[in-house]
Each structure stands twice: as C-alpha cells, then as structure tokens.
C-alpha cells in the first residue's frame, strides 16, 4: 500500500505549492545525509534491474529514467534523488548570474488535471555558486548528473551567447552532460533563441566553450525545445542538430497552450500565466518526439519528457524514439514510490516484448511504420 496519496491530500495539497516543495525537498536532503538511512531507503525505493541498463551520450546508467530539470535548481539533492531511484538527475536551470526569479505566487497545482503551472523564472544561485557546490560534492551514490543552463533575465538578448558561455565555462567540467535551455516560457525573449538563425551561433559557442574548458573528455551537449514549436521549426532544429553534431535533443519543455488540452481545473487557475506541465502535455510532447525521431533517427539521442506518469508512458516514449526519459510533475502527485513502480513496470513491458534490450526497442514504432 502506498501511503503517499493520503499524505498528499492531508498535508501537501493544503499547503502553498512552493512551500510544500521546499518541505519535501528538505526531507529528501536530510535523509540522504544519514548513511544508514539513505542506504536503507535506496534499497527499498531504488532496486536496479539489469535488463534496464542504458548506454546513452557515451554514459552508462542504471536505467533510462531521470529527473527533469526544475526540481533541483542548485545541485543540492543529487544524492537524495538518486536514493529515490532516478537513473540520472538534471539540475538547473542555472543562469550566469544569481537571480530570485519571478514574484510569488508562481507555482500552481491543477490537481484534477494532474498538472502544474509554473512561472518560477529560473530562480537559482547562479553558475559560480552551483559550480562550487558541484566541485565540493562527495557523491554517496554513482549518479549521472546533467546540467541545464539558461539565460539570466537581466542580460539583454544581444549578450545572451556570452551569458551561456560564462555558465558553460564554470559548469562543463562538473557535468556528465550539458543542456542548453532555450524553451522556458518564463524568461522574456528566451524562446526566440529556438529560431535556427539564433540557435546555431549559440550552440556553436557553447560547444566551443565546453571543449576548451574540459580537455580530458568530450561533454555531451543537448538542447531542450518547447512543445509549442510549429512542425517546420521542429524539423529545422532536428536538421541543425545533425548539422552541428549535437549529442541530443530534449523533447519537451512546458507549454503555454491551454486550449484543446481538456483541462478541467478552475478557469481562474488555468488562466495563470506560465508553463503548463504534467498529463495534459503528454500527447503533444509525444508528437514532437515522433517527428524528431522520424527526422534524425539514431543519429541524435532523444530524451522524452512531458506528461510521463507511468511505465506505459515511458514505454511509449521509448518505442517512439527516446533513449532516455524524464519526469517531474508526476513525482509531485505520486511521491517517493514513483521510480520503483515505473522501473518495475518498464522491466515487465520489456520482458513481454519481442525486444531483448531497451536499445532494441528505441524507435521501433517508427521503424516498423517505415518498413
């Protein structure tokens, strides 16, 4: 029996969402600091399935399922999230300068829709502070750590590339992979950087900065895109990724769309500005992933995120072309048993499939249609 739904209804649902986040975040960090406790919790919540082992971006992971950026903005709970079963942890979004983010209230639960709306605005301590924390970190568990970087709000668009480069120079040596975030709706002008004429010089500059900062290995570079891009723009990003030799694309970030998503929450709540995540973005995120895989095939690693709630969703993303998958919003509603349940279900689906490994299943749906 999972006691979390009752705890959510009696405690977290009655609290301001951001306050509830900090409370839960604090508990996770506290448990992870105690060796005996974290070992016990990991044994219960993070059993590893040999058949789910994944190789992606030149990295070996226990499985394909990771924590999306946004939950741990300042690299404070990597061990805690690994303890709960996430196969990789993407921290951030981190900006060149520290910033408080947008005024509160800025996080909203749409409980009936199993969704969130946020307009956090990249609140974080800045890349210098996060780099120092990563440098001082002494891992309790083997973990794959992605670092998601974005633009500082006060930096003008004309200086955006320099801002990303600053963060890259500080953080690349501490990252198993880097993500250029140009798709959050909560920083003015940020999404304009998804246009290929802006994205090409940005990704080129970040790649060059990573290469001159880290000379002993090649840090994989990915870009995270919005679900709201038109199909022709998705194609353009896919083609650019192949052209530049980009390592991966994360599909997708939150959406600014509201119409056509079947939302049932209070209209005033639905009308809050910010990015919508969770179950309502599932179909569009899946459609973007399918389009990307149809364009790039196995030449670029794809990461599926957006509306993933259970093993069925995860399996569907893999068949659609995702080598890695990520989640965040469903963790708020399903709690600490989420990873355990999803991994168990994913292993069962693989066992019942005609595929020997997850790698065999990646993109199988598209390949079958093409055949």
For residue 341, the model assigns a pLDDT of: 97
Other C-beta atoms lying within 10 Å of the C-beta of residue 224:
25
Distance of CA 11 to the CA centre of its chain: 26
158 is in an annotated binding site: no
Domain of residue 136 covers: 4-370
Per residue, the 3-state secondary structure of the chain, as one string, reads CCCHHHHHHHCHHHCCHHHHHHHHHHHHHHHHHCHHHHHHHHHHHCCCCHHHCEEECCEEECCCEEECCCCCCCCCCHHHHHHCCCCEEEEEEEECCCECCCCCCCEEEEHHHCEEEECCCCCECCHHHHHHHHHHCCCCCCCEEEEEEECCCCCCHHHHHHHHHHHHHHHHHHCCEEEEECCCCCCCCHHHHHCHHHHHHHHHHHHHHHHHHCCCCCCCEEEEECCCCCHHHHHHHHHHHHHHCCCEEEECCCECCCCCCCCCCCHHHHCCCCEEEEHHHHHHHHHHHHHHHHHHHHHCEEEEECCCCCHHHHHHHHHHCCCEEEECHHHHHHHHHHHHHHHHHHHHHHHCCCCCCHHHHCCHHHHHHHC
For residue 205, the model assigns a pLDDT of: 98
105 is in an annotated binding site: no
For residue 371, the model assigns a pLDDT of: 61
Give the separation between CA 52 and CA 189, rounded to whole angstroms.
39
70 is in an annotated binding site: yes
Q: How many distinct structural domains can be found in the chain?
A: 1
Q: What would the pLDDT profile of 311-343 be if each residue is shown by its tens digit?
A: 999 999 999 999 999 999 999 999 999 999 999
Asked if 265 contacts 111 with a C-beta cutoff of 8 angstroms, the reply is yes
For the chain, 371 residues long, the average pLDDT of each consecutive 10-residue run is 89 96 97 97 97 98 98 98 98 98 97 98 98 97 97 95 98 98 88 91 98 97 97 96 98 96 97 98 98 97 98 98 98 97 98 97 86 61
Asked if 229 contacts 283 with a C-beta cutoff of 8 angstroms, the reply is no
Catalytic residues: 184
366 is in an annotated binding site: no
Give the separation between CA 230 and CA 341, rounded to whole angstroms.
35
356 is in an annotated binding site: no
25 is in an annotated binding site: no
**What CATH number is associated with residue 205?**
3.20.20.70
- The model's pTM is 0.97
195 is in an annotated binding site: no
Residue with tokens 């992606």: 56
61 is in an annotated binding site: no
271 is in an annotated binding site: no
Q: What is the C-alpha R_g of the chain?
A: 19
Q: What would the pLDDT profile of 206-261 be if each residue is shown by its tens digit?
A: 999 999 999 999 999 999 999 999 999 999 999 999 999 999 999 999 999 999 99
151 is in an annotated binding site: no
């Amino acid at each position: 029996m999972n006691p979390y739904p009752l705890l959510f209804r009696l405690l977290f649902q009655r609290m301001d969402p951001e306050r509830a986040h900090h409370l839960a975040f604090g508990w996770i960090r506290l448990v992870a600091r105690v060796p005996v406790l974290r070992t016990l919790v990991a044994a219960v919540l993070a059993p590893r399935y040999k058949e789910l082992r994944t190789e992606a971006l030149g990295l070996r992971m226990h499985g394909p399922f990771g924590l999306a950026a946004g939950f741990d903005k300042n690299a404070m709970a990597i061990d805690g999230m690994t303890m709960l079963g996430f196969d990789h942890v993407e921290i951030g979004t981190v900006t060149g300068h520290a910033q408080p983010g947008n005024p509160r209230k800025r996080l909203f639960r749409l409980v009936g829709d199993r969704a969130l709306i946020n307009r956090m605005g990249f609140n974080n301590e800045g890349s210098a502070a996060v780099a120092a924390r990563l440098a001082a970190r002494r891992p309790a568990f083997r973990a794959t750590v992605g670092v998601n970087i974005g633009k500082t709000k006060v930096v003008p668009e004309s200086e955006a590339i320099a801002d990303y480069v600053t963060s890259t120079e500080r953080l690349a040596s501490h990252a198993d992979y880097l993500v250029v975030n140009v798709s959050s709706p909560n920083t003015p002008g940020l999404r304009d950087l998804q246009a290929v004429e802006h994205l090409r010089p940005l990704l080129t500059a970040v790649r060059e900065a990573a290469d001159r900062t880290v000379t002993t290995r090649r840090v994989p570079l990915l870009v995270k895109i919005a679900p709201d891009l038109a199909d022709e723009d998705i194609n353009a990003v896919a083609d650019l990724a192949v052209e530049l030799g980009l390592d991966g694309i994360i599909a997708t970030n939150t959406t600014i769309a509201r119409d056509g998503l079947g939302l049932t929450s209070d209209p005033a709540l639905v009308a809050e500005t910010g990015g919508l995540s969770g179950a309502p973005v599932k179909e569009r995120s899946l459609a973007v992933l399918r389009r990307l895989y149809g364009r790039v095939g196995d030449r670029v690693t794809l990461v599926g995120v957006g509306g993933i709630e259970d093993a069925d969703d995860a399996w569907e993303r893999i068949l659609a072309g995702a080598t890695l998958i990520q989640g965040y919003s469903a963790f708020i509603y399903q709690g600490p048993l989420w990873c355990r349940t999803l991994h168990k279900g994913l292993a069962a689906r693989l066992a019942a499939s005609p595929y020997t490994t997850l790698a065999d299943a990646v993109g199988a749906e598209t390949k079958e249609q093409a055949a």
